[in-house]
């Protein structure tokens, strides 16, 4: 592979230990690794034969992480709008759509999901699970993204929130065996671009026996565990009614809390549970777009500022096309920062620099990948996002980090590099056929919504003629 040289960048945001921002910066890539970061005049002459990406008028930063993505829900965009409660959203919308999908739908959904991520400048995602791991992995192979996948495991068909679709329920050992087979087969594929973890997608639908054994399997395989926890009041109440305690206290009792665990949403932790999260070095992914859309209470009831003060690793996720409804890590930074400014009446409680850490180095730490990813440093993998700042919403630029969080969005992404390979260049995605994918997605979505019986779920109150 020829060397790649990104040069003349107005700003190179390194997110290294010193958090350097380099004016007129350059990044040199050899193979799949970064070999130089510095001023253009110092770096460029050393690579005269490189494939040059001229980043004049642009900002380069570490590849963006979106640590909560549901590939399988991409064809259901809009079908969970205005769901009045957590149980309705899960049991009557999201899981209904997933339960009526076939493998072809899942592959199309994953391709479309990863296309949206690339177009938003995202290089790496974490998916907390579905029943189509092979199709999600295939899309990763095709798109060139980096990601983590998991297989859903449920062994309780009935919960005090509702009944799971019949094809979601599996006997405990069957569910664990299939998940373990997936991890053994998928982890490390595509030259290490793909990780496979274990999923406890919603703890209230998982028995104690399943969770204990899940923890043992993760330890044996040396991989992580991802799952939703303390997501909203409905699920928190359900956990207390069933087990006499919240999700975090239960996971601690079962011996699962640890540094290899990534928990999603986490807006309804109580103070004791928050201290357990800190003590066990549990990682957290917040999804502000989803909580705003579904009134989950994870901003006005959330403890993000306290998590940050305690040193908890906090990252950001978009959730899904059926929850947050858009997949854009940059927009998530504004919603998170702005949400807590409003909720706490303090415009300095979370700074934009902290939010950028959440979608770069903290995303890497959340996925146990920070030794290779999350910052622009010599020796790390060449995952880079380049944003076009020659746009009206960016100008003028006094503080590029403030503009990135308060003014920008994923649509500013110009070029995306993963593992040294260019996935999008000058706004054109090189790894997926957008035109054909849009046509396939339209046809499959029309069929899927009928099979799921949700034709009226996304209908406008205005007449469509």
**What is the four-CA torsion angle of 274, 277, 278, 282, rounded to 10 degrees?**
-150
Say yes or no: 347 and 381 in one domain: no
> Looking at residue 413, which CATH number applies to its domain?
2.30.40.10
> Is 383 within 8 Å of 418 (Cβ atoms)?
yes
pLDDT of residue 84: 81
* Residue 449 within a domain: no
User: Which tens digit of pLDDT belongs to each residue from 395-409?
Assistant: 999 999 999 999 999
* Residue 340 within a domain: yes
Residue whose C-alpha is closest to residue 384's, from 19, 61, 110: 61
> Looking at residue 256, which CATH number applies to its domain?
3.20.20.140
Average pLDDT value for the chain: 96
1 pLDDT higher than 70:
no
Q: Specify the higher pLDDT residue, 344 or 90.
A: 344
Say yes or no: 152 and 299 in one domain: yes
Q: Which range marks the domain in which residue 406 is found?
A: 4-63+374-427
CA 65 to chain centre: 6
Alpha carbon distance 128, 67 (integer Å): 9
The pTM is what? Answer: 0.97
Say yes or no: 262 and 308 in one domain: yes
Say yes or no: 147 and 243 in one domain: yes
Residue whose C-alpha is closest to residue 397's, from 39, 14, 59: 59
Structure tokens at 114: 């990863």
Structure tokens at 280: 């066990």
* Residue 464 within a domain: no
Say yes or no: 25 and 93 in one domain: no
Residue 90 banded pLDDT, cuts 50, 70, 90: confident
Beta strand 194-199 with 283-286 is unpaired
> Is 62 within 8 Å of 361 (Cβ atoms)?
yes
* Residue 457 within a domain: no
> Is 125 within 8 Å of 93 (Cβ atoms)?
no
Q: Which of 14-18, 58-62, 94-98, 412-416 has the lowest mean pLDDT?
A: 94-98
User: Which tens digit of pLDDT belongs to each residue from 132-171?
Assistant: 999 999 999 999 999 999 999 999 877 778 788 888 889 9
User: Which tens digit of pLDDT belongs to each residue from 107-129?
Assistant: 999 999 999 999 999 999 999 99
97 pLDDT higher than 90:
yes
* Residue 461 within a domain: no
End-of-domain residue from the set 366, 387, 414: 366
What average pLDDT does this structure show over 327-339?
A: 98
Q: Is the peptide bond preceding residue 375 cis, with omega within 30 degrees of 0? A: no
Cα torsion 441, 93, 196, 290: sign: positive
CA–CA distance from 296 to each of 10, 76, 164 (Å)? 39, 20, 21
Q: Would you mind telling me the total number of residues written for the chain in this entry?
A: 465
Say yes or no: 54 and 190 in one domain: no
Alpha carbon distance 171, 176 (integer Å): 9
In 174-229, where do the E strands start and end? 194-199, 225-229
Q: Specify the higher pLDDT residue, 13 or 86.
A: 13
Say yes or no: 104 and 37 in one domain: no
Longest dimension (CA), the chain: 66
Percentage of residues of the chain with pLDDT beyond 70: 100
User: Which tens digit of pLDDT belongs to each residue from 186-212?
Assistant: 999 999 999 999 999 989 889 999 999
Say yes or no: 51 and 71 in one domain: no
* Residue 388 within a domain: yes
Residue 91 banded pLDDT, cuts 50, 70, 90: confident
pLDDT of residue 353: 98
Say yes or no: 33 and 106 in one domain: no
Residue whose C-alpha is closest to residue 296's, from 323, 270, 277: 323
Say yes or no: 166 and 273 in one domain: yes
Residue whose C-alpha is closest to residue 290's, from 339, 344, 345: 339
pLDDT of residue 2: 62
Look at the chain and report how many structural domains it folds into.
2
* Residue 459 within a domain: no
Find where tokens 């995202």 sit.
122
End-of-domain residue from the set 325, 350, 366: 366
> Is 330 within 8 Å of 394 (Cβ atoms)?
no
């Amino acid at each position: 592979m020829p060397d790649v040289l990104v040069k003349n960048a107005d700003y190179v945001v390194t997110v290294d230990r010193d958090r350097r921002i380099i004016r007129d910066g350059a990044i040199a890539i050899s193979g799949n690794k970064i070999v130089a970061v510095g001023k253009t005049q110092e770096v460029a002459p050393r690579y005269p034969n490189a494939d040059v990406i001229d980043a004049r008028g642009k900002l380069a930063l570490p590849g963006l992480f979106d640590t909560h993505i549901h590939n399988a829900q991409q064809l259901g965009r809009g079908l969970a709008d205005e769901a009045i409660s957590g149980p309705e959203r899960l049991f009557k919308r999201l899981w209904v759509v997933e339960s009526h999908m076939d493998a072809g739908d899942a592959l199309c959904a994953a391709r479309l999901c990863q296309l949206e991520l690339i177009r938003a400048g995202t290089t790496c995602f974490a998916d907390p699970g579905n029943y189509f791991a092979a199709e999600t992995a295939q899309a990763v192979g095709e798109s060139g993204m980096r990601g983590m996948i998991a297989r859903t495991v449920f062994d309780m068909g009935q919960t005090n929130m509702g009944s799971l679709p019949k094809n979601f329920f599996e006997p405990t050992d069957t569910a664990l065996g299939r998940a373990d087979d997936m991890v053994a087969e998928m982890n490390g594929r595509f030259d290490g671009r793909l990780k496979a973890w274990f999923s406890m997608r919603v703890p209230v639908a998982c028995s104690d026996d399943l969770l204990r054994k899940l923890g043992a399997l993760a330890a044996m395989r040396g991989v992580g565990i991802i799952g939703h926890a303390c997501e909203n009041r409905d699920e928190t109440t359900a956990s207390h009614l069933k087990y006499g305690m919240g999700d975090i206290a239960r996971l601690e009792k079962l011996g699962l809390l640890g540094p290899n665990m990534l928990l999603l949403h986490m807006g309804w932790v109580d103070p004791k549970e928050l201290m357990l999260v800190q003590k066990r070095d549990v990682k957290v992914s917040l999804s502000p777009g989803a909580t705003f859309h579904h009134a989950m209470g994870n901003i006005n009831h959330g403890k993000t500022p306290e998590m940050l003060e305690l040193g908890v690793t906090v990252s950001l996720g978009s959730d899904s096309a059926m929850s947050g409804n858009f997949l854009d890590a940059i927009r998530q930074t504004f919603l998170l920062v702005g949400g807590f400014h409003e909720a706490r009446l303090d415009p300095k409680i979370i700074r934009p620099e902290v939010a950028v850490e959440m979608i770069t180095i903290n995303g890497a730490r959340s996925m146990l990948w920070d030794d290779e990813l999350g910052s622009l440093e010599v020796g790390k993998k060449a995952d880079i996002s380049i944003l076009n700042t020659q746009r009206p919403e960016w100008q003028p630029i006094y503080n590029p980090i403030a503009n990135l969080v308060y003014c920008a969005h994923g649509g500013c992404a110009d070029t995306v590099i993963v593992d040294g390979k260019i996935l999008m260049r000058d706004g054109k995605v090189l790894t997926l056929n957008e035109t054909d994918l849009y046509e396939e997605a339209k046809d499959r979505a029309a069929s899927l919504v009928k099979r799921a019986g949700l034709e009226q779920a996304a209908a406008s109150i205005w007449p469509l003629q």
